[in-house]
Amino acid sequence: MKCPHCGRETEGEFCPTCGYKFESKLGNNSKGYKDGLRKVINIFSVFALFLFLGYLILNTSILIWSLEWVPQYMTEADTIIYVVLLIPVGITEITGTAFVLYFFILTFFVLLSYIIIFYFGIEDFLGYIKKTVVSKGEKSEKIDSPIPRLAYIFMALLFFSYAYYIFLEGLGVSPEVPGIEQFPLWQIIYMMTRAAVWEELMVRTVFMGIPMFFYIYKKKNKLDWKYLYGGFGLKERFVIIPILLSSTVFAVAHLGGWDYYKLPPTFVAGLAFGYLYAKDGLHSAILLHFIWDFLSIPMRIFDVPNIDIYLGLLILLWMAAGAYYAYYYGKRGIIWLSKKKKTDRSKVSKTERKKSSIVVPGLGSIYVCSQCGNNKAIYTDEGKLECKRCGNKSETKIDTSNRKVKKLENKRDWPPID
């Protein structure tokens, strides 16, 4: 067929010269199907998200309630303050009033994390909900919100962990467990609270925050304290090393009381905690760890008939959503790892930028790579412009001062935008 804009003969879906997309009935039906599927996923995700938030509030309320009666058992008990090298190493023992104060401090950090994520993330959260509910199939994840991210990472982790243990059961393998159920309720609540806060401080801050802090100091000769807390993002490619290091330490530290079958799911959990630590901050990693460890606590608190069945159904629902988000975040992780390092455009000479380019009759050279500034690119089968220098598939930048381009833009989107 002939392209109606540049006259080029082609048999493909996109014109190889100007990138014009030839619409077809089949293509429109396919788009409608994808939009409908996306809308179903959006609605189901929001439903699962609100159930997650309700469960998070429930467990937080249990923790607050425990402040009334848990301390009475601590006055005659003791605990060990430890640091994590490769395995937990005890440094001192506390008891009595010091033990009670330690528990109050741990609880304070959980509640503070709760306040931080809602205080700074509520606006983006409401925007996410509004966009998702009224969406006609658009990708809702375009709004960057830490609250849905916390929920969907939890669901993805839940799916992976249960799928892993179901797989082991299929092989006839029964991993050893430390038998936490034999401890009294007050001790379980204390242990889970300590794990959520202290383990994240000892693992994420020590093995991610400190390495990133010194890396940035060496690179920029600048003391940037935010790297000790997290929330610095994934822009620095070096961050993958601290994430892998902290996940490995986290997995190995759990071997005491468990067996080696615990390593894979704990390592993946460490990746999830590390991702949230880098993306949003320590508070987000603490909350994920908290809700993960407190998952079965309500069953011990409330005397409700068949509560285990209700929790099982809730977990199945989260796993269904988690299957999608395990795929989603796994795919994003692979793309991020395979993405080439961004080139500083200021280091690209004008001569290089003027080299061979995509030329449309009467319009001249208009493509500019958003990463390296190169003008040479090809159209892919997806209708995207792929830079021939760095391989980046990015949005095209049009010289809007060109009148002919402006006229063409009024007729259609040109070149195709990713």
Q: How far apart are CA 254 and CA 89, in angstroms?
A: 12
Residue 418 above 60 pLDDT? no
Report, as an integer, the average pLDDT of 369-388.
66
**Residue 154 pLDDT level (bands cut at 50, 70, 90):** very high
Q: Do 218 and 271 have their domain in common? A: yes
List the single range of 65-74, 88-97, 127-136, 269-278 with lowest mean pLDDT.
127-136
Intra-chain end-to-end CA distance of the chain, in Å: 24
Report, as an integer, the average pLDDT of 20-29.
54
For the chain, the domain total comes to 2
What digits encode the pLDDT tens for the residues 310-356?
999 999 999 999 999 999 999 999 988 887 655 444 444 444 444 43
Last residue of a domain, one of 337, 355, 373: 337
Question: Strands 377-379 and 364-365: what pairing?
Answer: unpaired
What digits encode the pLDDT tens for the residues 10-24?
666 666 665 566 655
**Cβ-count burial 280-301 (b if 16+ within 10 Å, e if not):** bbbbbbbbbbbbbbbbebbeeb
Domain annotation covers residue 34: no
Write down the pLDDT at residue 405: 40
Report, as an integer, the average pLDDT of 67-91.
90
Q: Cβ distance 105 to 194 under 8 Å?
A: no
Domain annotation covers residue 26: no
Domain annotation covers residue 133: yes
Last residue of a domain, one of 312, 337, 362: 337
Which domain, by its residues, includes 107? Answer: 44-337
- Quick one: tokens of 113? 């994390």
- Contacting residues for 166 by C-beta, under 8 A, at least 6 apart: none
Tell me the average pLDDT of the chain. 81
Domain annotation covers residue 345: yes
- Residue 327: other Cβ atoms inside 10 A: 12
Q: Do 192 and 333 have their domain in common? A: yes
Domain annotation covers residue 12: no
Domain annotation covers residue 2: no
Report, as an integer, the average pLDDT of 145-159.
96
**What is the biggest distance separating any 2 CA atoms in the chain, rounded to whole angstroms?**
87
Q: Do 84 and 184 have their domain in common? A: yes
Q: How far apart are CA 298 and CA 80, in angstroms?
A: 26
